[in-house]
Chains A and B, each alone.
Chain A
Amino acid sequence: MALSIPYLLTIIIFLPLLGAAVVMFAPGDRTKKWLALATTLVTFAVSLLLWTNWQQGEAGMQFVEDAVWFAPLGIRYALGVDGISLFLVLLTTLLMPIAVYFSILYVDKRIGPYMALMLLLETAMIGVFLALDLVLFFVFFEASLIPMYFLIGEWGGQNRVYAAVKFFLYTFAGSALMVVAILIVYFSTGTFDIVALQSTPMPVAVQTWAFLAFSLAFAVKTPLFPFHTWLPDAHVQAPTAGSIILAGVLLKMGTYGFLRLAMPIFPQAAQQFGPLLATLAIVGILYGALVALMQKDLKALVAYSSVAHLGYVMLGVIAMNAQGVSGSVLQMVNHGLSTGALFLLVGLLYERRHTRMLDDFGGLWASVPVYTGLFLVVAMSSAGLPGLNGFVGEFAIMLGAYNYMPIFAVLAAAGVILAAWYLLTAFRKMAQGEITNPANDKQHLKDLNLKELVMVVPLVILFFVIGLFPNLFFDKINPSVEAMLETRTVLLQQGAAAQMPSLELAEIVVTEAK
């Protein structure tokens, strides 16, 4: 046991908020920048205590905090972390300093509000992963929209306002019905407690409606085909740091929502709609990969690759077996790391050349070897090369998908090949061949400097750590996943055995009206 701190989770969530307030009132742009970086670094350091103080082998929630928030409706301020959320929190706290540091180097416009928004976003994201109360979850889930909306709309590319509004309205409308579903769940079980709900039986009719509403919200966020159309706009227009966070963390709120809420709380409905969702995930994998193949803009390519990658994550989640789910949890982290790194590298290139069009490059091997080498590693990690992180997650997901329905595993494997194809094509266009454009030669294009390496190298090291020692992570993930699956199985058996009186929703409406 190392240093133990009370209210650790609260501190992790609200440190960035505090930092945001300080940054707002701090004098001078330089001070603001470094204060923001310091905040994210301290938050990261504090969040590492989760790792060091971790109760190995413990399946349930750890570092639990629980306080009444709004008594009349039983809304609680309940926080906790288990193997499923641990790495997502760490991913968030790790990517934030990188994103902030990138912004320190390359963002000059209105830096105070920018940093404050980044920090607000961090609070909301961590809150989503730590909340154990549905309402609290929803509050953080929605609150994350506001800072991201401003980040895209103010600091984004050419078409930023359109992208920002689309991002906001899509996700806001998507989660509108979730509020009603949350309430329906509450009034049919009497609790907002996420952990308790995982072992609370519910009538099938309630499950179906609630599952559909939850799924809509999370499918938009993930994004699952065909709800993905906001993503390429948002990604292409977002500033680099915004893209890193959007792809690295924000999208995981969708898959995490599926994994933590939609799938285990409504097991019967989830079982029923599983094949449909899995099909959408597969379509997303193949469609995302094919569209990525056609992209001329490097950033759009990475954006579409996210659609494909999150398809894998979804597939593992829907499979709802140990391999699939554990793989998905790890793959969420992997995707965050490798796509974060890809956006980072694309951003670094953009800052040098002010273009992201693949046709403008060529022969970068010769001019910027360090950059190109790192890009290759990151691309390979994203493509799932054995020995790197992507492989471990994808492999586990494939196993899970195979055990679920073999056909999905076969189709998903096709996606792996496509992923290698588009990434290598992009790499070939960028790095190989002759230098055709003088702007790409050694004199004009500078290789990565130390400041930039500081951002990229930790991510690359993690690729290898996860790729070579996956059990370091699975040891923490697996107990929680297995426990969750067990609870779910019990719930499913109860449902099947007891043939619960399945009240039609209309019936409930009538009885309640009386």
Chain B
Amino acid sequence: MNSAALALNLNAVLPELVMVVAAAIVMLLDIPNRRGRAPTKAWLPWVALAGVLVTGAVSIWLLGQPVTSFQGMAIHDERAQALNLVVLTGAALSILLSVRYIPTVNQQTGEYYTLLLLVSTGMMAMGSATDLMVVFLALETFSLGLYILAGLSRKSLRSNEAAMKYFLLGAFASAFFVYGAAFVYGATGSTRFDLIAVTLFDGKADLPLLYIGVTMLIAGFGFKVSLVPFHMWTPDVYQGSPTPVTAFMSIGTKAAAFAAFYRFFAFALPTEQATWGWALAILAVLTMTLGNLVALRQSSLKRLLAYSSIAHAGYILVGLATATPAGIDGALFYLISYAFMNMGAFAVVILLERQGEMDADGERLKGLSRRHPQLALIMSIFMFSLAGVPPFAGFFAKFFVFAAAVEGGWSWLAAIAMLNSAIGAWYYLRIVVDMYFAEPADAAQIEPQQVSLPLTITLGVAAVFTIALGVLPSLWTGLVQSGVVSTLALR
């Protein structure tokens, strides 16, 4: 029996392995930082960043050589690598945001970066899992890390509350997920996606049992990506967590959970598409409508971005509801665009925060363009992009996802989504109005101690890619090869 027969191809988990090694290095480097001495503390973020970049390079190298391994429990295809790149983008940018920020919240930066890398590992594993048990493992890996990260500011009540709430509701959602997985196993006799699909295809599955299970799985996933009605935790946790963590959460969690979501439905339940397509479409409509409507009334910037992220989850779900390759590739483009524009928006929030506050009121944007014209300009780019105005990335993100919807015959869903984006334009525009046309408020000052080179780099990278992906969307689709494949024109 050789290794080929074992079907153990380590390439399938290479990015995750590299990431774990990086996390271990960070942890080891942190050992001397005890009892007031901190010889290696300044290196930690850069080592972590290097780990992320190396993992990204590995992911790009693995593009175009799909492998399945571990007896079909994990697959590494273009979409898994694309998902890795989204998560890594989020991780890299939030590490840059953390350099100055995290020490003000918690001195144990070694733990922070280690956890961040391990959370990323879990998220990446979500994208390559093809077995419910692996999905669950990955889900718990990144969730547990995020619970700790959310409560990183131990002395802040709000942060504690956020961690507690996230943990309790998250545990609840995990329970739902496991229970749902058990039902699916009971209905089909397997947790492996391909075997579930075969059982379904042969008509041997116990359908009522399966539907109960799938409903519970949707609840579990829905919690992670904050779909309505599982979104209640989102604003509080977003507001209470340290901002770089919030930023990372808004991108990584969404990307990972959507990836697993897609794999499960497309690989395990292809025959049931007609049923769950509708369920997802209805969830999408609820999610984006509620997210947008509630966002209209928020004054805290982090809560506003929380509801906006709920709305964006709704748009992305449109791509998944179609269940076509174009839909999932559109969703991936959406996620990478969202990673850049949302990271940028959170970076601006960080600049507006006061010491130890971990949130900023919308009032602080008033007249920002007078005091900090460059910052206002960059923030406007993010806001227009989030609203979906060309020539920014947010436009093509919506365009590709909705193209998939129309191609799949969900034109009405695309129409509702577009009308929603018009509602969304209102609150993004309000931010721009405040920055440019409102009388300067005294509070419209950036916190000088938050200004740092890494943060400036984050802003710059985010802005450049928000524009670049909007002008040349093929930068991304060309990289991940598969592209938004338009299979058949509707005739």
Chain A residues in contact with chain B, CB under 8 A? 69-74, 113, 135, 138-139, 142-143, 145-146, 150, 153-154, 160-161, 164-165, 168-169, 172-173, 176-177, 179-180, 183-184, 186-190, 209, 505, 508-513
Interface contacts beyond A173-B422, A179-B399, A513-B277: sample of 6 additional A-B pairs, CB < 8 Å, sorted by A:
A73-B400, A153-B433, A177-B418, A177-B419, A180-B414, A512-B490
Q: How far is the CA of A164 from the CA of B433 in the complex (A)?
A: 9
Tell me if A509 and B414 are in contact (CB < 8 A).
no
* B425 proximity list for chain A (CB < 8 A): 168-169, 172-173
Tell me if B409 and A511 are in contact (CB < 8 A).
yes
Interface members, chain B 404-431 (any A CB < 8 Å): 406-412, 414-415, 418-419, 421-422, 425-426, 429
Q: How far is the CA of A178 from the CA of B425 in the complex (A)?
A: 16
Tell me if A161 and B490 are in contact (CB < 8 A).
no
Q: How far is the CA of A74 from the CA of B326 in the complex (A)?
A: 13
Contact pick for B484, options A73, A135, A168, A187, CB 8 Å: A73
Tell me if A72 and B483 are in contact (CB < 8 A).
yes
Residue on A with the closest CB to B484? A72
B298 at the A/B interface (Cβ < 8 Å)?
no
A interface: dominant SS = helix
A512 in contact with B409 given A179-B402, A189-B489 (CB within 8 Å): yes
* B483 proximity list for chain A (CB < 8 A): 71-72
* B391 proximity list for chain A (CB < 8 A): 139, 143
Contact pick for B415, options A135, A143, A177, CB 8 Å: A177
B477 at the A/B interface (Cβ < 8 Å)?
yes
* A72 proximity list for chain B (CB < 8 A): 477, 483-486
Q: How far is the CA of A208 from the CA of B402 in the complex (A)?
A: 20
Tell me if A169 and B490 are in contact (CB < 8 A).
no
* A135 proximity list for chain B (CB < 8 A): 399
Tell me if A184 and B406 are in contact (CB < 8 A).
yes
* A189 proximity list for chain B (CB < 8 A): 489
Tell me if A505 and B421 are in contact (CB < 8 A).
no
Q: How far is the CA of A510 from the CA of B274 in the complex (A)?
A: 10
Q: How far is the CA of A509 from the CA of B415 in the complex (A)?
A: 13
A169 in contact with B437 given A139-B391, A509-B410 (CB within 8 Å): no
Contact pick for B411, options A69, A168, A180, CB 8 Å: A180
Contact pick for B436, options A150, A511, A512, CB 8 Å: A150
B248 at the A/B interface (Cβ < 8 Å)?
no
B474 at the A/B interface (Cβ < 8 Å)?
yes
Tell me if A180 and B389 are in contact (CB < 8 A).
no
Tell me if B406 and A172 are in contact (CB < 8 A).
no
* B277 proximity list for chain A (CB < 8 A): 513
A176 in contact with B419 given A72-B477, A512-B407, A513-B274 (CB within 8 Å): yes
* B474 proximity list for chain A (CB < 8 A): 69-71
Residue on A with the closest CB to B404? A183
Least Cβ–Cβ distance between B474 and chain A, in angstroms: 5
A146 in contact with B402 given A160-B437, A161-B437, A512-B409 (CB within 8 Å): no
* A71 proximity list for chain B (CB < 8 A): 474, 483
Q: How far is the CA of A186 from the CA of B403 in the complex (A)?
A: 9
* B409 proximity list for chain A (CB < 8 A): 508-513
Tell me if B406 and A145 are in contact (CB < 8 A).
no
* A150 proximity list for chain B (CB < 8 A): 436
Q: How far is the CA of A154 from the CA of B410 in the complex (A)?
A: 40
15 A-B pairs with CB atoms under 8 Å apart are A71-B474, A72-B483, A113-B373, A138-B390, A139-B390, A161-B433, A164-B437, A168-B425, A172-B425, A180-B415, A188-B491, A505-B411, A508-B490, A509-B410, A510-B409
How many residues belonging to B are interface residues under a CB distance threshold of 8 Å?
A: 44
* A74 proximity list for chain B (CB < 8 A): 486
Interface members, chain B 439-491 (any A CB < 8 Å): 473-474, 477, 483-486, 489-491
Least Cβ–Cβ distance between A151 and chain B, in angstroms: 11
Chain B residues in contact with chain A, CB under 8 A? 274, 277, 373, 384, 387, 389-391, 395-396, 398-400, 402-403, 406-412, 414-415, 418-419, 421-422, 425-426, 429, 433, 436-437, 473-474, 477, 483-486, 489-491
Least Cβ–Cβ distance between B447 and chain A, in angstroms: 25
A176 in contact with B390 given A153-B437, A187-B490, A512-B490 (CB within 8 Å): no
Tell me if B486 and A172 are in contact (CB < 8 A).
no
* A510 proximity list for chain B (CB < 8 A): 409
Tell me if B429 and A169 are in contact (CB < 8 A).
yes
* A145 proximity list for chain B (CB < 8 A): 389
* A505 proximity list for chain B (CB < 8 A): 411
Least Cβ–Cβ distance between B426 and chain A, in angstroms: 6
Least Cβ–Cβ distance between B491 and chain A, in angstroms: 7
Q: How far is the CA of A513 from the CA of B407 in the complex (A)?
A: 9
Residue on B with the closest CB to A172? B425
Contact pick for A165, options B410, B414, B415, B429, CB 8 Å: B429
Least Cβ–Cβ distance between B314 and chain A, in angstroms: 15
Residue on B with the closest CB to A135? B399
A169 in contact with B411 given A71-B483, A73-B403, A142-B390 (CB within 8 Å): no
Least Cβ–Cβ distance between A426 and chain B, in angstroms: 32
Q: How far is the CA of A154 from the CA of B277 in the complex (A)?
A: 46
A190 in contact with B489 given A172-B389, A513-B277 (CB within 8 Å): yes
Least Cβ–Cβ distance between A389 and chain B, in angstroms: 34
Least Cβ–Cβ distance between A154 and chain B, in angstroms: 6
Tell me if B433 and A165 are in contact (CB < 8 A).
yes
Tell me if B399 and A154 are in contact (CB < 8 A).
no
Max chain A C-beta neighbours (<10 A), residue from B411, B436, B485: B411
* B387 proximity list for chain A (CB < 8 A): 172
* B414 proximity list for chain A (CB < 8 A): 179-180, 183
Q: How far is the CA of A180 from the CA of B373 in the complex (A)?
A: 36
Max chain A C-beta neighbours (<10 A), residue from B390, B391, B491: B390
Q: How far is the CA of A505 from the CA of B491 in the complex (A)?
A: 12
Q: How far is the CA of A179 from the CA of B474 in the complex (A)?
A: 20
Tell me if A513 and B408 are in contact (CB < 8 A).
yes
Max chain B C-beta neighbours (<10 A), residue from A153, A169, A172: A172
Least Cβ–Cβ distance between B476 and chain A, in angstroms: 11
Least Cβ–Cβ distance between A110 and chain B, in angstroms: 9
Residue on A with the closest CB to B406? A183
Q: How far is the CA of A429 from the CA of B200 in the complex (A)?
A: 83
Least Cβ–Cβ distance between A131 and chain B, in angstroms: 12
Residue on B with the closest CB to A154? B436
Least Cβ–Cβ distance between A257 and chain B, in angstroms: 16
Least Cβ–Cβ distance between B394 and chain A, in angstroms: 11
* B491 proximity list for chain A (CB < 8 A): 188, 190
Least Cβ–Cβ distance between A313 and chain B, in angstroms: 26
* B410 proximity list for chain A (CB < 8 A): 509, 513
Q: How far is the CA of A183 from the CA of B373 in the complex (A)?
A: 37
Tell me if B403 and A142 are in contact (CB < 8 A).
no
Residue on A with the closest CB to B277? A513
Tell me if B408 and A512 are in contact (CB < 8 A).
yes
* B490 proximity list for chain A (CB < 8 A): 187-188, 508, 512
Q: How far is the CA of A508 from the CA of B419 in the complex (A)?
A: 22
Q: How far is the CA of A206 from the CA of B409 in the complex (A)?
A: 12
Least Cβ–Cβ distance between A214 and chain B, in angstroms: 13
Q: List 8 tightest A-B contacts by C-beta distance, closest first.
A: A512-B409, A190-B489, A187-B490, A183-B406, A173-B422, A139-B390, A176-B418, A509-B409
* A146 proximity list for chain B (CB < 8 A): 384, 389
Q: How far is the CA of A143 from the CA of B385 in the complex (A)?
A: 11
Max chain B C-beta neighbours (<10 A), residue from A145, A173, A180, A510: A180
A143 in contact with B429 given A153-B437, A176-B422, A187-B406 (CB within 8 Å): no
Q: How far is the CA of A469 from the CA of B319 in the complex (A)?
A: 56
* A168 proximity list for chain B (CB < 8 A): 425, 429
Q: How far is the CA of A13 from the CA of B422 in the complex (A)?
A: 28
Residue on A with the closest CB to B491? A188
* B402 proximity list for chain A (CB < 8 A): 179-180, 183
* B421 proximity list for chain A (CB < 8 A): 176
Max chain B C-beta neighbours (<10 A), residue from A154, A168, A187, A508: A187
A139 in contact with B395 given A169-B426, A172-B422, A509-B411 (CB within 8 Å): yes
Tell me if B437 and A143 are in contact (CB < 8 A).
no
* A187 proximity list for chain B (CB < 8 A): 403, 406-407, 489-490
